[in-house]
Amino acid sequence: MQGSSPIEANGQAPGFAEYLAILKKRRRLLLNIVVPIAALGALLAITLPDVYRSVALIEIDEQQTMQNMLARGPSNDQEQEYADQYVQSLSTRVLSDANLRRLLQQHTLYDTGESERELVSRLRRDIDVSIVTARILDPRTGREREVVSAFNIGYDNRDPRRAYEGASWLVNAFLEENRRDRQRVAASAAKFFAAEADRLGKHVAALENRLAEFKAKNQGSLPDLTGVNLNVMARTEEDIQNIEMQMQALRRERVFLMAQLQQASAAAPETATLRQLEEEYRRKSVSYDESHPDMISLRRQIEQLRTGGSVAGMTLQQQLQNQRAILSEARQRYSDDHPDVKRILRNIEALEARIASGETADRTLSSDSPMAVQLRTQLNATDSQLAALQARSAELRAKLTELENRLSAAPEVEREFQEVTRDLAGARAKYDELLKRQMDAEVSEAAIAGGTVDKFRVAQEPVVPRTPAKPARLAIFLVSLVLAVALGFAAVVAAQFLDQTVRGVRDIRDILNVTPLAAVPEIQTAGTLSLRRRQAVIFVARTAVGLAIVYYVTSQFLF
C-alpha cells in the first residue's frame, strides 16, 4: 500500500524507537557505506609509507626588508607582494627542469624505474617553498604590520637521508641563484651608470666649454667682478679729477711762461748778444783769417752793438745791404766757387725773396737770447706735460666709459652666467652621483661575487629528520570514520524519504485513520537466513576488492 512518509504524517516527528527501527531496517545500506569507507581509512592509515621532510629556514635581510617597506610605501599588500614575487621568481628559476635534472643526476633520490620527465614532475611535487611573515612596527604609521621576513624550503622523501640531501642541495641552489641574480642586477646597474656617466660627462664638458667661452666673451663683466669694477671706476674718476687739477695748474703756468716769453722777446738784450758775438769771434779767430767773410760780419755786428745799434732792430733791407757789402769784400779774396761766397749768395737770395714777399723787419734774433731760450724750453716742457695729461685723461675717460658699459650690462650677464653655472652645477652633481652609484654597484658586484653581502641568510640548516612528517595516521582514520558515518546516515535519510511504501502500524493508522487489531512480525525461514549469509559474503568480497583498488590508486597517485 502506498502512503505518505511517516515523518511528514500529521506534522508529527517520529520518536526514538522509530529512528532505531529505521536504522535497523536500513542497516544493510548503512553498513555498505560505513564499513568500506572506515576500512579504507584504517587501511590507508596503517599501510601508507612514512614520508620524511627536511626543512630549512632562510631569512631575508632585515635592513633590505625595511628598505623595501619604506620604498614601497605604507601598503602591507605591496610589500608582501614584492617579497612574494621575488621568492616566486627565484623558485621558478631554481626549480626549473634543468636544475631538477641536475639534482637527480647528483643525488639518487628515487629508486623507481620512472622516466626522467616523471621523476622531475615527482621531485617538483615533493618540494615545498612557503613564505614566513613577521609583525614589525611600521615607521611611517607607528602601527604593527606584517612583512615577509623569511621563507621555508622543504623536501619530502621516504628516505630521511635523501630528504636531507635534497633539502641541502635546494638551499645552496637558492643561495647561489640569489647571488647570481643580485650580481646580474649589480653588473647591469654598473653598466647603466657607466653609460649614463659617460653621456653626462660629455654634457658637462660641453657646459664647461660654454662657460669658458662665456667668460672669455664677457671678461670684466662677470658678477664676481662687480665690486672690483666699482672700485676701479672710483679710482679712475679720482685719477681723472687729479689729472684735471694738474692740467689746470699747467695751463696757468703756461699762461705765466707765455707772458714772460713775450716780455723777454720785447726787451733788447744787446749786452748778452754782444758777449755772445765777442765769444764767437774769439772762437772763430783761431780757425779763420780776419779777412774771412764770417769774421767781417761778426766785426760789423760787434761794432754796431758797441756804437749803440741793435741787431734785433735791423730791417730786411738793411740786412740785404749788409750781406752785399760782405759779398763784395769776399769776392776780393775768393772766387765765386768758394763755399763762403756761395753761402752769402744764398743768404742774399733768401733776403730778396722775403723782401719780395712783403716782409720788412726781422726780430728772430731777440728770441735767441738765453732768457727766451730758457722760457721757450719751459714752455715746451709744459706743453709736453699738458699733451701727456690730455692723452692720459682721454685714456682714463675711455676706461671709465668701458667700466660703465660693463656695469650696465652686469644684470644681463649675471642672469646668463647664473643660468650657465646652474646648469653646470646640476650636471656636475648628477655626474658625481652617477660615478658614486657606479662605484657602489661595482663594489656591490664584487662583494656579492665574494659572498660577503648575501641578501639571504640561512637561519635554520636542513637536518636529517628523525620522525616522519606524514602521513598523519590517526587523522586519516578519524576523518575516514567521520566521513563514513556522515555518508551512511545521509544515505539512510535519503532512502527513507524516497521510499513511499507502507512500513508499519503507524503508516496504516495515518493513511486509513483506523487502528489495526494486530501486527504480524516478519517470519524468518531457513531460506531467508541463507540469503542473508550469501549477501554478507558478497558484501565482504565486494568491499575487499574495492578497498584493494582504492588503496592501489591512492598509493600510486597520492603518495
pLDDT tens per residue across span 413-433: 667 777 778 888 888 888 888
> What's the average model confidence in pLDDT over 474-497?
85
Least confident of 23-32, 167-176, 442-451, 464-473: 442-451
Q: Which three cell numbers stand for residue 434?
A: 652617477
Q: How confident is the model at residue 396 (pLDDT cuts 50, 70, 90)?
A: confident
Segments making up each domain of the chain, as ranges: 9-48+503-557, 52-196+443-460, 268-366
- pTM, rounded to two decimals: 0.51
From the list 434, 433, 424, the residue with the least C-alpha distance to 194 is 434
Least confident of 274-283, 348-357, 392-401: 274-283
Q: How confident is the model at residue 304 (pLDDT cuts 50, 70, 90)?
A: low
> What's residue 161's pLDDT?
92
Distance CA 55, CA 463 (A): 7
Question: Above 70 in pLDDT, residue 214?
Answer: yes
Least confident of 151-155, 360-364, 534-538: 360-364
Q: Which three cell numbers stand for residue 249?
A: 695748474
Place of cell 612574494: 84
Q: Which three cell numbers stand for residue 157?
A: 622523501
Average pLDDT over the chain, rounded to whole? 75
State which of 115-119, 331-335, 510-514 shows the largest mean pLDDT: 115-119
Contact call for residues 206 and 416 (beta carbons, < 8 A): no
> What's residue 35's pLDDT?
80
CA of 312: how far to CAs of 265, 373, 482, in Å?
Answer: 10, 16, 163
Longest pairwise C-alpha distance within the chain: 216
User: What are 513-546's pLDDT values in tens digits?
Assistant: 777 777 776 666 777 667 767 777 776 776 777 6
> What's residue 225's pLDDT?
64
> What's residue 148's pLDDT?
81
Encode 303-317 in three state secondary structure: HHHHCCCCHHHCEHH
> What's residue 197's pLDDT?
86
Q: Which string of DSSP letters, residue by residue, matches 162-189?
A: HHHHHHHHHHHHHHHHHHHHHHHHHHHH
Least confident of 4-13, 165-174, 541-550: 4-13
Architecture in CATH of 52-196+443-460: 2-Layer Sandwich (3.30)
> What's residue 56's pLDDT?
92
Q: Which residues pair with 146 in a beta bridge?
A: 135
Number of residues written out for the chain: 559
| Phi and psi, residue 455, nearest 5° | -75, -30
Question: Above 70 in pLDDT, residue 155?
Answer: yes
Question: Above 50 in pLDDT, residue 354?
Answer: yes
Q: Which residue did the predictor score with more confidence, 437 or 364?
A: 437
User: What are 292-303's pLDDT values in tens digits?
Assistant: 777 777 777 677
Q: How confident is the model at residue 164 (pLDDT cuts 50, 70, 90)?
A: very high
Q: Which three cell numbers stand for residue 243?
A: 689729472
> For 2, which DSSP code?
B
Angle between helices 76-94 and 160-217 (to 10 degrees): 120
